[in-house]
Structure 1
Amino acid sequence: MMRQLLALVMLTLALASPGMAQEEIVADLSQRQVPITADFDGSELILYGAVKRETPISVTEPLSVIITVAGPSNPVTVRRKEKVAGIWINTDAVEIDSAPSFYAISTSRPLNQILSETEDLRYKISIPRAIRSVGAPQAVTDAHEFTNALMRIKAANGTYQARPNTVAFFDQTLFKTAITLPANLTEGTYKVTLYLTRDRHVVTSYSTNLAVEKVGLERFLYRLAHDQPLVYGLLSLFIAIVAGWGASAIFRYFTG
């Protein structure tokens, strides 16, 4: 009897717990693979989905949607140039521990209105939080400026995108957005994450993967260059010799 009573109390506490998700995300992508070919000039990724509910829609505390697309993360060295004796040279340098090669964030409302600083720190959703920079040389007193410079450079070439108010959210149930993928994508597995927030707190999330990879002849040459560099070098030399001999033969034919 005591064991049954204890189980009932635990079930009641679980149901009353604020961490229990009363909404779930059902979503999909317009494509699961982005093929990179010689003439690849970018693509458009469409994300769409719906909110699956176990309770009625809350009118007083409406939901908001955040969607992020993150490319593979790698260390990045950011250098500062200064003019010394009339010449621009590299001076200070900071190695950022991990930065995504591509990062796009789309929201149904401005991010600061739907996500608290605490939740952003926990889930690392905003662009500054997605970049991990732990330490810097003691001689560099403004290390945060190097991170800001990296974000400016990435934003300028389209690989970092902050896109507020670009998620269409219909009747607190259906949502859709489109994200532009630039031509300078890095090959790898991209993580797509969708968050539902209420009262600036994350209610639930959903993640899936997107494959960005070279295909066809481009993939063969890329793999050959990385896996068998000697064979790739010899093949390149052979092609160059044949091309040179062919051009010379054609020139002699028309001039001889």
Structure 2
Amino acid sequence: MNRKFQTSNFKLFIYISLFLLILAGQAFADLTVDANHSHIKIDFFYHGSTMSVRGTSDPGVDLIIKLSSPEGHETLKQKGKVAGVLWMNVGTLNIEDVPGVYFLHSTKRIEDILNAEEMQKYVIGYAALAKHIRINPIANNEDKDRWFKEFVKFKENSKLYSTSTGKISFTEKDGKGSYYILTDWPYQVPPGIYTVTVYAVKDRHVVETAQTNIMVEQVGIVRTLASMAKNNGAVYGIISIVVALIAGFGVGIIFRKGGGAH
């Protein structure tokens, strides 16, 4: 009898635990994400665009939106004085496990809504990214921090890295939340597949994530010229010279016509 009673209690405990887990999952199962441009085409007249990200979320969470490229290899030129006079490239740093593009937006400061372990786990924020990547050759961690800051500065100047706080708008209706952000999409972003990840954060932990992808590709004459430059550099060089000569000849004719009246 006692054994049956214990078995029944154990089953009841399992059922209650499963029920609570289901409820917990439903409590944070409202996060969605959608990008208005899932396929960006780089044509002859392309000069960047705008990107909006929207979706639904639980009203009781903070949000972090990360848009990044796959991790890969980057190089950074080291500059130094040669003979104590001239500033020149004196070496090359190899940076591994680093995204070429990294845009980060949050409802509040990352440090105020997420603990350090979670930042590192999801590689959220420059501090987490600095620990995640590998830089060689370097002498010590101070050297790594210094060159990482230089790398980020270079990327920000190239419009390929950026962070912002407070630009995500949030509205609530009938107990459901909706978020929206509109950002610039720089023309410097190269072709590739990019991941938009939205993190719902509560009590300094990530409680849910949602993802979507964005494809950027060259089309038309831009794609043809890029392929030619990569696969047949000699032909591409000849065409470039011919185009430059034709353009120069046309400008010369215009100026001669303009000067003929004097």
TM-score greater than 0.5 by the shorter chain:
yes
How far 1:22 moved relative to its partner? 2.0
Aligned pairs for 1:76-87 within 5 A: 76-84=74-82, 85-87=84-86
Which amino acid in the other structure matches residue 49 of structure 1? G
Residue of structure 2 in register with 1:155 after alignment: 156
Give me the whole-angstrom Cα distance separating, in 2, the residues matched to 1:81 and 1:238. 35
Partner SS state of residue 142, structure 1: helix
In structure 2, list runs of 5 or more residues that go unmatched. 254-262
Residue of structure 2 in register with 1:70 after alignment: 68
Q: Deviations over 1:56-104 (max 9, x none)?
A: x6xxxx3111111112432112232122331113335431102222111
Which amino acid in the other structure matches residue 77 of structure 1? T
Which amino acid in the other structure matches residue 186 of structure 1? P
Residue of structure 2 in register with 1:208 after alignment: 212
Indicate conservation of the 8 Å contact 1:77/1:93, yes or no.
Answer: yes
Residue of structure 2 in register with 1:137 after alignment: 137
**Alpha carbons of structure 1 residues 185 and 29: separation in structure 2 relative to 1, 3 Å:** same
Aligned-residue CA RMSD (Å) = 3.3
Q: Deviations over 1:120-169 (max 9, x none)?
A: 11111213434642353364561221111111111122211101011111
Partner SS state of residue 109, structure 1: coil
Q: What's the TM-score once normalised by structure 1's chain length?
A: 0.79
Give me the whole-angstrom Cα distance separating, in 2, the residues matched to 1:102 and 1:217. 25
How far 1:27 moved relative to its partner? 2.4
Q: What's the TM-score once normalised by structure 2's chain length?
A: 0.78
Give me the whole-angstrom Cα distance separating, in 2, the residues matched to 1:145 and 1:134. 13
Give me the whole-angstrom Cα distance separating, in 1, the residues matched to 2:243 and 2:61. 64
In structure 1, list runs of 5 or more residues that go unmatched. 252-256
Indicate conservation of the 8 Å contact 1:72/1:101, yes or no.
Answer: yes
Aligned pairs for 1:51-200 within 5 A: 51=57, 62-84=60-82, 85-91=84-90, 93-130=92-129, 132-134=132-134, 136-137=136-137, 139=139, 142-171=143-172, 173-200=177-204
Indicate conservation of the 8 Å contact 1:155/1:161, yes or no.
Answer: yes
Between the aligned residues of both structures, percent identity stands at 22
The structure with more helix, counted as a fraction of residues? 2
Residue of structure 1 in register with 2:17 after alignment: 13
Give me the whole-angstrom Cα distance separating, in 2, the residues matched to 1:143 and 1:156. 20
Give me the whole-angstrom Cα distance separating, in 1, the residues matched to 2:41 and 2:222. 10
How far 1:185 moved relative to its partner? 0.9
How far 1:238 moved relative to its partner? 6.5
Give me the whole-angstrom Cα distance separating, in 1, the residues matched to 2:118 and 2:93. 27
